[in-house]
Amino acid sequence: MASVDRINEPLMNSRSGHPSSHNIRAIRIGIGTVLFIGCWQILHSYFVNPFLLPSPLQVLRTMWDLLLSGELLDDIYASSRRILVGYFGGSLIGIMLGLLMGRFRSINDLMTPCLEFLRPLSPVALLPLVLIWFGIGEAAKYVLVGYTAAIIVLINTAFGVNRMPIIRARAAQCLGASEWQMFRNVLLPSVIPYIVVGMRTALGFSFMAIVAAELIAADSGIGYLIMQSRILIQVDQTFAGLITLSLLGAFSDMVFRLTLSKLTARYQYDLLNV
């Protein structure tokens, strides 16, 4: 049995990677960043009307000004609040409905027509209706983001419930688990990886939904900032808004990975168990 002690090692290695290959990757990513900004600068200087494409430095300066005036932070706060409320509310609804749908065939059948109807309808397509029903206030934004998150999380959760091997439920039955114990100790842990995937996807889509809403009907938020700059034809501010959006998206995904993904890491092991 001496050999089994080494089982862990290859796993660790494949996760952290060989140190030198790690460095090479970092260097390549650095080169990629420089190339991206360089191309932008060259396009600005030689090929495109500079008014339509401001230089990277100009955009950076505009961002800095917006930051100092407090305008950018206000917009970030407005958008973030809408996303957080809508996203977590929607995710919670999606998880609960998804578990019910996955667990009970009858509920699944009853909800299928509704879900099939909603599935192809993007948040943008629903925006006019949401505005008519909920007005141009905050409620409409929460509903739109919430709807987006709920649908994605629901579909992933229900899929996860159906993916649980039937023999796992049977094993738990044999071991004496009651219906509730089965749900709490077997089904839920088996579905968590799918919920996490759904929530991570939903986070990205929540950004898309909120910007769409803010472009059309809002007096604050990053979408509003972008739309304002279009009306005033301040392309540097348009870019500042886009970059803020991109950074915010990357930041939230990073926070997601460091919190929710970390917290649920042991449930992901189940997917490695092949």
Partner 1 sequence: MSASSIEIRNLCKAFGNSSVVLEGVNLTIADSEFVCLLGPSGCGKSTVLNIVAGFDFPTQGEVLHDGRRITLPEPRRAMIFQDVQGSLFGWLTIRQNVEFGPRMRGVAEPERTQIVDRYIKLVGLADHADYFPHQLSGGMKQRVQIARALANSPEVLLMDEPFGALDAQTRSTLQGELERIWRETKKTVLFITHDIGESIRLADRIVILSKGPRSHVSAIIKVDLPRPRAPGDGDFAGIYRQVEGLLHSLPPK
Sites of contact with partner 1 (CB under 8 A):
1, 4-5, 7-8, 11, 165-168, 170-178, 181, 185-186, 189, 192, 266-267, 269-274
Encoding tokens for residue 96?
């609960």
* Residue 70 Rama label (left phi>0; alpha psi -120 to 50; beta): left
Please, what is the minimum distance in Å from the beta carbon of residue 267 to partner 1? 5
Of the two residues 173 and 246, which places its CB atom closer to partner 1 in the complex? 173
Q: How far apart, in whole angstroms, are the C-alpha atoms of residue 88 and residue 84?
A: 6
Please, what is the minimum distance in Å from the beta carbon of residue 220 to partner 1? 42
Encoding tokens for residue 89?
């509310």
Encoding tokens for residue 203?
């986070």
Q: How far apart, in whole angstroms, are the C-alpha atoms of residue 76 and residue 78?
A: 6
Q: How far apart, in whole angstroms, are the C-alpha atoms of residue 90 and residue 150?
A: 4
One-letter amino acid for residue 186 of the chain: V
Encoding tokens for residue 212?
């769409």
Of the two residues 101 and 186, which places its CB atom closer to partner 1 in the complex? 186
Of the two residues 132 and 174, which places its CB atom closer to partner 1 in the complex? 174
For residues 212 and 202, the answer to whether their CB atoms sit within 8 Å is no
Of the two residues 43 and 188, which places its CB atom closer to partner 1 in the complex? 188
Please, what is the minimum distance in Å from the beta carbon of residue 118 to partner 1? 32
Alpha-helix residue ranges (DSSP H) falling in 54-187: 56-69, 71-103, 105-118, 123-134, 138-163, 166-174, 179-182
For residues 131 and 203, the answer to whether their CB atoms sit within 8 Å is no
Of the two residues 8 and 49, which places its CB atom closer to partner 1 in the complex? 8
For residues 149 and 202, the answer to whether their CB atoms sit within 8 Å is yes
Please, what is the minimum distance in Å from the beta carbon of residue 192 to partner 1? 8
Please, what is the minimum distance in Å from the beta carbon of residue 3 to partner 1? 10
Please, what is the minimum distance in Å from the beta carbon of residue 196 to partner 1? 12
Of the two residues 120 and 176, which places its CB atom closer to partner 1 in the complex? 176
